[in-house]
Structure 1
């Protein structure tokens, strides 16, 4: 299929670039999905929290010295990442120790099976003997998160319809996936949204690599994410979904590179916990605001995510809790994703998700925010600020 000339990207043939470590700087990076970070990059509230302690807070790519790889392999100690689940699972399993600080789950976006809209295909069983596309990144440095969710979603949809992989033909589509330290992609940007100023991401097929193969008849079906990509593809009139994991009551089917995970390095967590807590204070504040102002949050998220438009974004986030958490159910979802990656060879080493999770940072951030609010409210009502909530001082 013309892929013979594609070259693999490896640690051996690639030079990685990161800025020298400075603990008076914290860098963030996020994925274009539903998270408080994607709202905060427009509000700037976390930057304000860091200013209070004299620390510069900036986007990973705001300096030329950083390439894109820290987003995937966390090779920058003073970086905090909020994004898709599979890359940080890969990092924790096979690359370096990190801490799981919180997650945000979109519990109704498990994935769809898309076919051409005018084909005589209406049910999954109509795909028996037909071809389903599966992408394959040739970049061995980073995690192949696109392929993982495709393979996981395909297998789940087959299973929910009494089928297995033996009932269909899986067709692989290798691609170079080698742009992460390309000089053309390394112009500094202050905000992740700037990436989309130069390209219409909602209609950029670079983010939907198998769509052309489907429309050209090379394959008969492809996986896509429920709601975001699905609605963009259906709006063309050329594609339709014949199965949708989000329609099932089983919440364990909804792990499609989600929950979105917040991770930091073990070095930051152990040596500079105050930097971690400051970040989480910002995420909690922005998450609470987004929960209270879902339409406003949707207008911001529409700039980066792949929902059809602002109203579609609102419908997508309406029931999502934007405040990061480490709930038992969401940690179970993380385990589901990790276990799939291990069983299918996407990670070499297993690890305990419960031990990876570090709830003490989220707890402390929430506690400090409560103390800040207590101080603010009592200062305005009393001759002097009341004792801290944790002081144990009796009232009355």
Structure 2
């Protein structure tokens, strides 16, 4: 662990209960995002003498990189599956204690004046995927684009060897707390498409609204597939992970964190309009774009589960990242998961008071 991370390790009291813990979530719809936006997570832990700090809000880039590395002790993460799978394969001793799944628009875009109208028309064409500046962090944007494009080719019956994948140079991600001026990481591939460098790109989620506004035209929406395992992406399933030491030393903290998420899920079901507003803030976009990207049932999508389909989705994403070279070391997904904290959280949930 770097010196910066050692300095930022959670403080503990004499009875080994931490006085400070960390959380992070991706700038996408997450249960943790709603709970922190409403200050429910912060307030619940404050009642027990524990400070909850945001990894992405740190002024120290080494700390912010724990969003990808999961290197901070006493830290929770909910969001896209590429970083936690990569971190686990890198040797980080983390545990999956829940999974959420938010379906979203998953679109392959071409230019508005393109003669490409179906996936079959992609044969012989250039498909753009970003490749970030060299570093030891996993290339999340590339994994996202490659997954989407390969799924589209599979659905359209187009062999991957009949298309040309073209690298689009992109900077390293530095994921800070979201703001209305947050840089759109789809901007660079969009420019490559508009200037003719490539013929098609993949965009998912809130970025789809911006792409449509720029005159791009979708030729397939993977989200239309009925089988959820065909809708897998870098975004869903979204594992909720915690470092194993925290689970072993302070299991009550993990259970309480999950209990707040369960209570948040129940609240979200009854407050669709407020959920829309919160997710617009979390994704640095507007409510119309959120509705377009995630649909009118978004508020029903925030239950942490460890269902068979969620676990199988996580397993298939791990297998995809291994097959495509994003991770080098295989591991067993089933032993990565511990269902007991979520089971106990259901028993604690009704004792949680939001506010």
Pick aligned residue for 1:360 from 330, 335, 340: 340
Secondary structure at 2:68 match in 1? helix
Residue aligning to 1:7: none
Whether the aligned pair in 2 keeps the contact of 1:131 and 1:220 (CA below 8 Å) is: yes
Whether the aligned pair in 1 keeps the contact of 2:79 and 2:240 (CA below 8 Å) is: yes
Q: Does 1:92 align with 2:71?
A: no
Pick aligned residue for 2:282 from 295, 304, 307: 304
**Residues 133-144 of structure 1 correspond to what in structure 2 (within 5 A)?**
133-144=128-139
Whether the aligned pair in 1 keeps the contact of 2:225 and 2:231 (CA below 8 Å) is: no
Structure number with larger C-alpha Rg: 1
Pick aligned residue for 2:151 from 150, 153, 156: 156
How far the C-alpha of 1:273 sits from its partner, in A, is 1.0
Alpha-carbon separation, structure 2, partners of 1:26 and 1:59 = 9
RMSD in angstroms over aligned alpha carbons? 2.3
Whether the aligned pair in 2 keeps the contact of 1:90 and 1:346 (CA below 8 Å) is: yes
Count how many residue pairs are aligned between Structure 1 and Structure 2. 341
The alignment's TM-score, normalised by the length of structure 2, stands at 0.89
Alpha-carbon separation, structure 1, partners of 2:334 and 2:246 = 19
Residue aligning to 1:329: 309
How far the C-alpha of 1:88 sits from its partner, in A, is 0.3
Alpha-carbon separation, structure 1, partners of 2:133 and 2:232 = 24
Pick aligned residue for 2:125 from 119, 122, 130: 130
1:30-66 deviation line (CA, Å, top 9, x unaligned): 1011111111222111112212221111212444356
Residue aligning to 2:209: 231
Pick aligned residue for 2:254 from 258, 264, 276: 276
Q: Does 1:249 align with 2:226?
A: yes
**Residues 167-186 of structure 1 correspond to what in structure 2 (within 5 A)?**
167-177=162-172, 179=174
Q: Does 1:210 align with 2:176?
A: no
Whether the aligned pair in 2 keeps the contact of 1:16 and 1:69 (CA below 8 Å) is: no
Structure 2, unmatched stretches of 5+, are: 12-17
1:9-50 deviation line (CA, Å, top 9, x unaligned): xx9xx9864513312101111101111111122211111221
**Residues 103-114 of structure 1 correspond to what in structure 2 (within 5 A)?**
103-109=99-105, 111-114=106-109
Whether the aligned pair in 1 keeps the contact of 2:186 and 2:207 (CA below 8 Å) is: no
Whether the aligned pair in 1 keeps the contact of 2:65 and 2:174 (CA below 8 Å) is: no
How far the C-alpha of 1:123 sits from its partner, in A, is 1.3
How far the C-alpha of 1:174 sits from its partner, in A, is 3.0
Alpha-carbon separation, structure 2, partners of 1:43 and 1:58 = 14
Residue aligning to 1:67: 63
Secondary structure at 1:125 match in 2? helix
**Residues 23-42 of structure 1 correspond to what in structure 2 (within 5 A)?**
23-42=18-37
